[in-house]
């Protein structure tokens, strides 16, 4: 770079191109006073964007800008207002020193210069700063806060009621709109879903795999009825598309020859489950669940639930499928954290009974384990420092007195927020991986509440050591299968009480030894049979047999040893 100090002159302009072929972060700038508004060349005036000079961008001294160390000079957009310096008297080279924000009252004329040739920016009128930086009502009502608060998760609490006996809910408060918004998420910018472009609340833009932004913008423009250049829709457009999609799903279900009759027989909760599945997979996808639909038609809810759990759909969308399949089994929305009417009445009777700290704990809501909290955003200008990207990712460092907060938000909906009281909320929309090459240390001074929507697989290469000061309470609604390759040793300091409501089968391939230091009593209401090659019963004092009929038989030897045989009575008794 050739700098001639005596000819340095300032300039103001607008960036029209940032696609630097040298990838140095340079930008093409149309400069006020030096360049015409017209981008069409003429005899007198006119300068196309392609004929503008490339200017480098100055970075702060805190950035090395050497060998990949430091920040990249790639934050400026087409349409950004910039200030810089010419570096020679002929104005053939220059450097951009910075950008500035303004308040826009109207959209630019994109046919002229001093605007974004791609027609993507600006995306809004008014203040150029991010709404989160403005604080107050504008900040609280920003899209980031609205989406985060509307898509909060609820962790259900397991019920102690046996499966199949839970009360149904025919008048749920949760709407299908809220349910789907939670399951699908809400994204105003298009995103790839298995290679297909989607937008809004799970809306498939077109059943064609592509990532071409121009083609996707064309499709979105056709969808919303206006020209879209940045792959983004408004919240009003999103909700309008969503309402139309739900109506199509509901109308399609009712008219479907297979699903329709089953849908009409279901209660309100199970209808929502079918609507959820149809919205996710389409009517054609739902109709392929032939066994499940047959079980539902016969009101075999448990069989329908088991069949759903064994499906590919369940494995691919575990959390959502777990919640929806439980609705079909139970006929209520408790898997989404909504209390059944009977549970709600029980809760209302418990409120405000105990207020002393030493009184026994009474659960405030037995059907909701915990809820994702709302954002603690309470920013005031000028304390919130935000960094936003063109795709919608935002990082905030909020120094508002009494509302100090940090948040990192991804366009997918994944975010982390640290509140003024130090509370940390982390929500991950996709998969989460944590790799620790050495030791991991976790200390939780309070309770741990864990809800797993799918399966849990734990493999421990070493040993598992547990010490529990309190009790262990387990409810297993399925089967328990254990395989112990070594020995099992159990010591019970007090009482062991085992109730088997049906059959109990114990197979021991070698010896069985039972030692009772005091009394042993076996009560059988019907028949008890003991088969053995040799049977030996030894009683040091007294042995009593009381029954209508007593039949002792042994293949080889039957021996009774109790000292002196004093009396034998009854018919058909043979001794010796």
User: Catalytic positions, please?
Assistant: 184, 193
Query: Is residue 126 left, alpha or beta, with left meaning phi > 0 and alpha meaning psi from -120 to 50?
Result: left
Structure tokens at 454: 């799918």
What does 139-178 look like in DSSP terms, one character per residue?
HHTSHHHHHHHHT--EEE---SSPTT-SPP-SS-SS-HHH
For residue 524 the two structure tokens come to: 């059988």
- Indicate the pairing of strand 94-99 with strand 54-57: parallel
User: Which H or E element spans position 238?
Assistant: helix 235-255
CB-based contact 380:400 (threshold 8 Å)? yes
> Which 8-state DSSP code applies to residue 66?
B
H helices of 266-340, in order, are 268-287, 290-297, 301-309, 312-316, 318-330
User: Which pair of tokens denotes residue 312?
Assistant: 């590919």
Pair 61, 71: CB distance under 8 Å:
no
Q: Quick check: helix, strand or coil at residue 334?
A: helix
Give the separation between CA 451 and CA 448, rounded to whole angstroms: 10
Cα(362)–Cα(352) distance, rounded to whole angstroms? 10
Q: Long-range contacts: 413-421, Cβ < 8 Å, 24+? A: 413/147, 413/148, 413/151, 413/185, 413/186, 413/187, 415/148, 417/375, 417/376, 419/376, 420/376
Strand boundaries in 495-566, DSSP class E: 534-538, 557-561
Residue entry with tokens 């047959």: 294
Give CA–CA dist 131/109, Å, rounded. Answer: 24
């Amino acid at each position: 770079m050739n700098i001639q100090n005596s000819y340095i002159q300032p300039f103001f302009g607008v960036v029209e191109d940032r696609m630097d072929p040298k990838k140095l972060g340079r930008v093409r700038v149309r400069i006020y006073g030096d360049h015409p508004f017209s981008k069409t060349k003429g005899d007198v005036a006119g300068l196309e964007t392609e004929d503008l000079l490339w200017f480098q961008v100055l970075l702060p001294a805190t950035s090395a800008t050497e060998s990949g160390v430091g920040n990249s000079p790639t934050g400026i957009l087409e349409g950004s207002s910039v200030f810089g310096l010419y570096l020679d008297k002929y104005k053939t080279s220059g450097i951009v020193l910075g950008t500035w924000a303004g308040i826009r009252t109207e959209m630019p004329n994109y046919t002229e210069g001093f605007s974004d040739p791609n027609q993507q920016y600006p995306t809004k009128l008014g203040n150029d700063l991010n709404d989160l930086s403005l604080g107050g009502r504008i900040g609280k009502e920003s899209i980031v806060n609205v989406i985060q608060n509307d898509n909060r998760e609820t962790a259900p609490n397991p019920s102690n009621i046996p499966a199949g006996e839970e009360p149904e809910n025919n008048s749920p408060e949760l709407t299908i709109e809220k349910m789907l918004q939670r399951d699908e998420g809400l994204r105003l910018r298009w995103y790839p879903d298995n290679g297909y472009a989607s937008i809004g609340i799970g809306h498939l833009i077109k059943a064609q795999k592509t990532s071409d932004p121009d083609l996707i913008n064309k499709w979105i423009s056709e969808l919303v009825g206006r020209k879209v250049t940045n792959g983004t829709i408004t919240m009003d457009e999103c909700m309008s598309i969503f309402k139309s999609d739900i109506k199509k799903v509901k109308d399609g279900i009712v008219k479907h020859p297979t699903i329709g009759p089953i849908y009409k027989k279901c209660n309100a909760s199970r209808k929502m489950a079918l609507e959820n599945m149809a919205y996710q997979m389409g009517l054609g996808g739902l109709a392929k669940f032939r066994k499940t639909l047959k079980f539902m038609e016969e009101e075999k809810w448990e069989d329908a639930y088991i069949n759903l759990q064994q499906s590919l759909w369940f494995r691919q969308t575990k959390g959502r499928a777990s919640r929806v399949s439980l609705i079909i089994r139970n006929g209520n929305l408790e898997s989404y954290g909504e209390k059944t009417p009977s549970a709600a009445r029980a809760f209302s009777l418990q409120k405000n009974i105990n207020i002393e700290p030493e009184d026994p704990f009474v659960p405030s809501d037995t059907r909701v384990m915990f809820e994702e909290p709302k954002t603690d955003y309470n920013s005031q200008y000028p304390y919130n420092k935000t960094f936003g990207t063109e795709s919608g990712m935002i990082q905030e460092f909020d120094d508002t007195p009494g509302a100090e907060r940090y948040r990192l938000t991804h366009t997918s909906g994944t975010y982390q927020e640290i509140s003024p009281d130090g509370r940390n909320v982390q929500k991950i929309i996709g998969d989460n991986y944590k790799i620790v090459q050495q030791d991991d240390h976790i200390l939780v001074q309070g309770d741990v509440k864990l809800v797993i929507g799918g399966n849990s697989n734990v493999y421990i290469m070493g040993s598992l050591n547990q010490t529990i000061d309190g009790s262990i309470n387990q409810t297993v609604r399925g089967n328990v299968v254990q395989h112990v390759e070594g020995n099992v040793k159990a010591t019970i300091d007090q009482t062991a009480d085992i109730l088997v409501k049906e059959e109990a089968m114990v197979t021991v391939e070698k010896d069985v030894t039972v030692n009772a230091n005091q009394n042993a009593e076996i009560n059988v209401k019907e028949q008890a049979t003991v088969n053995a090659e040799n049977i030996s019963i030894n009683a040091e004092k007294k042995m009593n047999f009381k029954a209508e009929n007593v039949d002792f038989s042994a293949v080889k030897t039957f021996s009774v040893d109790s000292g002196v045989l004093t009396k034998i009575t009854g018919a058909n008794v043979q001794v010796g």
